[in-house]
Amino acid sequence: MELSAFPRFFTSVFDRFSMLALFFMVFALVFDFMKRRKGQNYPPGPWGLPFIGNIFQVNWNSPHLSFAKLWKEYGDVVSVQFGWTNTVILNGYKTLKEALVKKSEDFADRPQFAVYDEIVKMIGEGIVFARYGPWWREQRRFSLSTLRNLGLGKRSLEARILEEAKFLNKQFENAKGLPFDPHISLNNATSNIICSIIFGERFDYQDEKFHKFLHYLSEDLALEGGFWGQMKHDPKTSFLKSNLLGTAIDLFAAGTESTSTTLRWGLLFMVLHPDVQSKVQEEIDSVIGKERKPALDDREEMPYTNAVIHEIQRAGNITPISVPHQTYRDTEVMGYTIPKGTMIIPNLSSALFDENVWSTPHQFNPGHFLNSAGGFVKPEAFIPFSAGRRVCLGEQLAKTELFLFFTSMLQQFTFHLPENEPRPNYTESKFGITLSPRPYRLCVKLR
């Protein structure tokens, strides 16, 4: 080849390469467009970038705040795209009720997550993240009936919680008035209740294996963002050893993390609002006294304390966006068409902070749950445990624990902030499966 032909040769190769690259680029964009194509009457939402969608438009350290902005801009039903995953965010109690309660089966499925697939390989299928269907229904019924058989809703469980409250108060007393972080003690106490249900025994707060287990459980929940039964001969049965282990782990999570986190918020709000703490203690002294142990029956006679516990759950916003759902079939919500297989994010925060429901949604105000006569009332929009078929499995247990632990602590102690330490900011929180307060320290004084 003559030297003069080389420039023409390379120019030709470059032109062909450019055309090929252009072809693949156009092909990729068309493919991306086809993957993103929505049907008619699909919910509105922001435009996303090719291939990655709206991933960078959400602050994943506090996604509920990003979703609140989308709610204000696009309305109660908002569509977004995470990669090629079609996602719809449900906002406001009216929308959440229509989807999760009135059309509960339509929205009862779960999307599959890579991290969950890895967990299943190690410990088997659980019920929290399991796909909707006969397997899930069977395990859900089994779990609820087993919890009832082992004490849920009975006096025996109440006695276990009060006994554990005694150990928890002893831990607080051992601090001798010095500043400490209550996180680990609260986690141990709430976990010991589910341990007593499943294993029939509690664990000492200094038990290293127990600490390691709770640490791994906490890490698992942050990543995700043994019952025994009669074995059946049905080849499709869900009662396999590996699956029962997964179900047991789910019960630990349902019975530990949310209650422990709520109590951490509760003590934080008490030291930030000593006037509220004093009112709760006045009601405890009036109804229970200083010697008798609290009882669940006392709750009906303690409207202010009951209101404070509910406001802790609301303002603490423990599970702001719940666990993602997925549509089980083609359906509609608020007039919009949602295809089968669409990932659904129930924005529970939107109900708990709805300005049309709560008089001061962004303030800690027990008055949200009191009527003009001082009686307890619960607005319909109060759904911290979600709603419908996927409502939290540990709701009843959590309600019992919250009242008995909270009243037991405030019956014995007054909590206050340490001197010469920064005042905790309750608006700063850590997002995982639950929304927890940043680490803080407090002091206790025996009453």
What Rg value do the Cα atoms of the chain yield, rounded?
26
Say what the pLDDT of residue 378 is.
Answer: 96
Could you tell me the two tokens for 402? 């919250």
Say what the pLDDT of residue 178 is.
Answer: 95
173 in Cβ contact with 444 (< 8 Å): yes
> Tens digit of pLDDT for each residue in 78-109?
999 988 889 999 999 999 999 999 999 999 99
Say what the pLDDT of residue 229 is.
Answer: 30
Instruction: Work out whether strand 343-346 and strand 85-90 pair parallel, antiparallel, or are unpaired.
Output: parallel
- Domain limits, CATH 3.30.43.20, in the chain: 34-113+318-352
- Domain limits, CATH 1.10.630.10, in the chain: 124-317+354-446
Is the predicted pLDDT of residue 3 greater than 50, yes or no?
no
Is the predicted pLDDT of residue 22 greater than 70, yes or no?
no
Average pLDDT across the chain, whole number: 83
Residue with the larger pLDDT of the pair 117 and 252: 252
Q: What mean pLDDT is predicted for residues 186-207? A: 82
Is the predicted pLDDT of residue 336 greater than 90, yes or no?
yes
48 in Cβ contact with 80 (< 8 Å): yes
**pLDDT exceeding 90 applies to what percent of the chain?**
52
Say what the pLDDT of residue 255 is.
Answer: 64
Is the predicted pLDDT of residue 211 greater than 70, yes or no?
no
Say what the pLDDT of residue 218 is.
Answer: 61
CA–chain centroid gap for 356, Å, is 23
Segments of 243-358 assigned E as strands: 325-326, 331-333, 336-338, 343-346
- C-alpha span between 355 and 362 (Å, rounded): 9
Split at pLDDT 50, 70, 90, the class of 347 is: very high
Split at pLDDT 50, 70, 90, the class of 236 is: low
Which CATH code of 3.30.43.20, 1.10.3480.10, 3.40.50.300, 3.30.420.40 fits the domain covering 34-113+318-352?
A: 3.30.43.20
319 in Cβ contact with 434 (< 8 Å): yes
Split at pLDDT 50, 70, 90, the class of 331 is: very high
> Tens digit of pLDDT for each residue in 388-430?
999 988 888 899 999 999 999 999 999 999 998 888 888 778 8
What burial letters (b/e) apply to 404-424, b meaning 16+ CB within 10 Å?
A: bbbbbbbbbbbbebeeeeeeb
Question: In terms of DSSP H, where are the helices of 273-302?
Answer: 274-287
- C-alpha span between 124 and 119 (Å, rounded): 7
Segments of 235-310 assigned E as strands: none
> Tens digit of pLDDT for each residue in 264-305?
999 999 999 999 999 999 999 999 999 899 999 999 999 999
Cα–Cα distance list, 218 to 212, 252, 254, 258, 263 (Å): 10, 11, 12, 11, 16
SS3 156: helix
**Residue 407 belongs to what H/E stretch?**
helix 395-412
Is the predicted pLDDT of residue 440 greater than 90, yes or no?
yes
Is the predicted pLDDT of residue 244 greater than 90, yes or no?
no
Say what the pLDDT of residue 377 is.
Answer: 97
- C-alpha span between 202 and 405 (Å, rounded): 16
pTM (2 decimals)?
0.83
Is the predicted pLDDT of residue 259 greater than 70, yes or no?
yes
Is the predicted pLDDT of residue 365 greater than 70, yes or no?
yes
Instruction: Work out whether strand 85-90 and strand 77-82 pair parallel, antiparallel, or are unpaired.
Output: antiparallel
**Secondary structure letter of residue 102 according to DSSP:** I
> Tens digit of pLDDT for each residue in 115-173?
556 555 555 566 777 889 888 888 888 777 777 776 676 778 899 999 999 999 999 99
Which of the residue ranges 27-31, 81-85, 118-122, 433-437 would you say has the lowest mean pLDDT? Answer: 27-31
124-317+354-446: CATH superfamily: Cytochrome P450 (1.10.630.10)
Task: Name the residue with tokens 């939290």.
Answer: 392
